[in-house]
Amino acid sequence: MASISGVYSSSSSSSSSALRHRRLLLPLKPIPSSRRAAAIPIFPLGRPPHLRPPRSIADLPRSPLTSSSASLPPEKKTLGIEKDPIKLWRRYVDWLYQHKELGLFLDVSRIAFTDEFLTEMEPRLQTAFHAMQELEKGAIANPDEGRMVGHYWLRDPKRAPNSFLRLQIENTLDAICNFADDVISAKIKPPSSPAGRFTQILSVGIGGSALGPQFVAEALAPDNPPLKIRFIDNTDPAGIDHQIAQLGPELASTLVIVISKSGGTPETRNGLLEVQKAFREAGLDFSKQGVAITQQNSLLDNAARIEGWLARFPMFDWVGGRTSEMSAVGLLPAALQACSSLIISRCQGGINIKEMLVGASLMDEANRTTVVRNNPAALLALCWYWASDGVGSKDMVVLPYKDSLLLFSRYLQQLVMESLGKEFDLDGNRVNQGITVYGNKGSTDQHAYIQQLREGVHNFFVTFIEVLRDRPPGHDWELEPGVTCGDYLFGMLQGTRSALYVNDRESITVTVQEVTPRSVGALVALYERAVGIYACLININAYHQPGVEAGKKAAGDVLALQKRVLSILNEASCKEPVEPLTLDEIAERCHAPEQIEMIYKIIAHMAANDRALIAEGNCGSPRSIKAFLGECNVDELYD
């Protein structure tokens, strides 16, 4: 088995005259020296010891406005939203951003920020630009975890802070391409499939290990891909059973990709165990069809190496899950949905991962300018700050008017909310920041919640995603004279945008020429950078997720309590006669009277799954319950 470092192995509402909400430009304070000291670099495994450690962005100088002694800026007010069509047209032309090479446009004219606001924000934006520059050079941008943040290097390895990391990235990309080519061409094939090649992909992962690949597959996979992809992205037994059942006899020709950075994510581990059980029951050797994407020497990596899985690919310490689409996490599943010359006759298009990387790289380069109106990510961050008062006071509604981009709102939900939803800022102040993201697709939204968006509570701003190309050239036709099906979709988007703005609902529009690997890569990169810049504006760490870890710990506590409950019930069930126990008795014997509500929920769940019996009472009247297991497991009495 080759090293994981890069080579795979076969083994609110208001009228137009109303005063706008005040914008409080909260001062950014310098990071105390005690916090700077905590930002200790953690180097990737195998990094040469002579390389100079990068410094933390917490050490960067702050602009005058961000000093701890700076007073709050004056209250900002404006006389409603501009409605004059000629002035609006001028604003549209003045603020329209275009990236010619990507065929991407950004329209922020329907966000009513003022010149005064822009002037006030300029120093903060320049500070944010400098922080992003340092991040790309390898500074510790995640001080809480002492980590670099390097997802930008994935699409431009030359920007990696040292040659070791550059080679890791380049070698991994080569390995992904070679492995995908070998699988699609059947050079690598399953041992027991009558088809003589892999026909399905089953991707097991959760969060950033699933949302990115799911979005890309929905957006870009050809109608008849060489390998059709399915996802197990939860620990729901019925959902897992459904995916496995859908494979049927094609389980024998299914390539299973297991994605977990730590290798110990419970949902992913559970999915893997369920899939391995299905393989055993079908008489198949899982190791000959399993691929791991994980950190070197993780639990998953070690298991895959020892068991001789088909291949292993690396996840890097300096890439977070929600920014991992341009790593092996996203690129391998995408590459396996590309088209081989052997099946090109029935496979049109496919996912060109190098074009995705080019699109992301071009967008990254555009976002490096320090001229705000020429920086699309900065424009997005500026609009988010204006629309939500810099404190998340309004939600972001994402409406892609293209079926293939339906999952973009789910992808952005994690990217934005997990990055920006933080209780404390970098100085330790409780700020409870974040922006709520939700969305559907156009014009389905027309028949769902647009009614509330236009006339209900004004607690949101909208992001429209527009795609200019309706169908491939030569495939369009007119439903009626001068009007195609796509014209109706275009009309719905523009009509909704206008109807919302007439009622003072602000919006952003992102337009791409068509949905291609390059434009999808650009969209991913655009929002990754916008999140990073906005996080700098509000002084938070966008690259950790302590709330997620707290939830995992709480879940672990529940399962530990369940084991104690099972032990108590087993002991009572082994008595002669059987001793059904009340909830109070179970809680007392577990030495957890304060956990009686959770004990009730555990008993109710086990009873619903025939793992405990209710001898008396019912779950609708908790105090009446007496429960036991129904059988005695003698062995557990002596464990």
Catalytic residues: 418, 447, 552
CA dist., res. 289 & res. 191, Å (int): 9
Q: Give the rounded distance of the alpha carbon of 544 from its chain centre.
A: 13
Distance, in Å, from the CA atom of 579 to the CA atom of 570, rounded to the nearest integer, reads: 10
> In sequence order, what are the residues at sequence separation of 6 or more whose Cβ sits closer than 8 angstroms to the Cβ of residue 571?
637
Burial class of residue 337, CB neighbours in 10 A (0-12, 13-18, 19+): buried
Round to whole Å and give the CA distance between 2 and 33: 43
Q: Which helix (H) or strand (E) holds 292?
A: strand 290-294
Contact of 465 with 398, CB cutoff 8 Å: yes
Rounded to whole angstroms, how far apart are CA atoms 23 and 75? Answer: 6
Q: Per DSSP, which regions of 50-204 are E strands?
A: 97-99, 104-107, 140-142, 147-148, 200-204
Number of C-beta neighbours around residue 133 at 10 A? 14
Instruction: Give the three-class secondary structure for 218.
Output: helix
C-alpha dist (Å) from residue 131 to 37, 138, 628: 18, 11, 60
CB under 8 Å to 543, separation ≥6 — which residues? 141, 142, 145, 147, 149, 320, 419
The reply to whether omega before 443 is within 30° of 0 (cis) is: yes
Host H or E run for residue 183: helix 163-184
Q: Which two tokens stand for residue 233?
A: 């992205």
d(CA 515, CA 510): 12
Nearest-angstrom CA–CA distance, 466 and 482: 21
Q: How far apart are CA 302 and CA 307, in angstroms?
A: 8
Query: How many alpha carbons lie under 13 Å from residue 275 in its C-beta half-sphere?
Result: 33
Closest CA to 319 of 150, 176, 170, 206: 150
State how far the Cα of 137 lies from the Cα of 158, in Å rounded to an integer.
Answer: 11
